[in-house]
Structure 1
Amino acid sequence: MSGIPYLPRDISFDEEEDSRILAAIKSRRPSGLSAFDRVLLHAPKIAGPWLELASAVRFKTSISSSIRETAIARAYSINRVEEEWNIHSANLLKSPDNSITAQFVDFVKNCPTGQVLSRYKAAGLCEKYAAVLALTDASTLQIQVPAEVLELAKEFFSSQELVELLAAIALHNAVARVFGAFDIKL
């Protein structure tokens, strides 16, 4: 059970704005409200914009799905949110990028934080993905990204792509913190 009760799957709101927010969220969830939705909807005016941002990060950025899912999966691995790790590592394996293998996903999950740049070559990873993982590690654990990590990332990503990538990392770190605080189970 979560730290606060999940709202019922058939929740409704009396306030018109909250009802519109709920309808918008339901329209994006063909399989019904998730446990995360049912916690966030305790504060509908937070849930609506939060899920709009999540949709923008997922569907409206210029970064590839393999780059985005690498960063997201790493953030969930670091934060030990196994349910979300399972979802995003599976998304990563479905990536059209041929360099994404089970060995790559294992590295994303198990490489000790802060050691990506010293281990990626031995694991057969390319430097671009190492930059994504190092950026995720630093942003997740230290907040401030060391200059050498940011400079490496700039070799592969435009300013727009870096903002999109860091927004994805930040958003999913925030999701991980809500999952952790309320012990949300999918």
Structure 2
Amino acid sequence: MKALYPTALFILLSTTTCTQPAHAPADFTLRIEDYTDTINTFQGTFTRRGIASNKAGEVFRDTTVHFDFTSQQKDSIYRMMGNTHFFTLPAVLTPQCNGIIHPSSTDNLATRCNGVEHKVRFENGCETADNRVKEFQRLLSFIYKMVYRNPQIRALPNSELFIL
């Protein structure tokens, strides 16, 4: 019986201490900036750049609306950040390129949780097999899908800007 005790304790500790918290910290915020849209829960806003303000599409404006995630959405995003190892990524993600993608842009994601800010930047004009990039892109896609389902965001006009 004594031989089973250390094994049972090891199994118990290994299954309980390595799990990520189920809820995002109270100060959890994020900011994603891309070519046309900025999601900024630090300020509680969503901004779309390059909306045509005349019928000829010659004058552009930015539109900012109030935006935040629900508690459940924040929890889901925080868990996905753990699953995709976001908090271990370097500030600048520079994978080995297998080819160039045109057009390209830069993806920026900044977070704050438990008083600590973490930022990741990726120049996405690179074809790569790097799993860190794939996981980062999966995280961004997860967040964007959540944002673009919001009726207030869906109601905004499309941006007229495009990447050359």
Larger strand proportion of the pair: 2
**TM-score, normalising length: structure 2:** 0.33
**TM-score, normalising length: structure 1:** 0.30
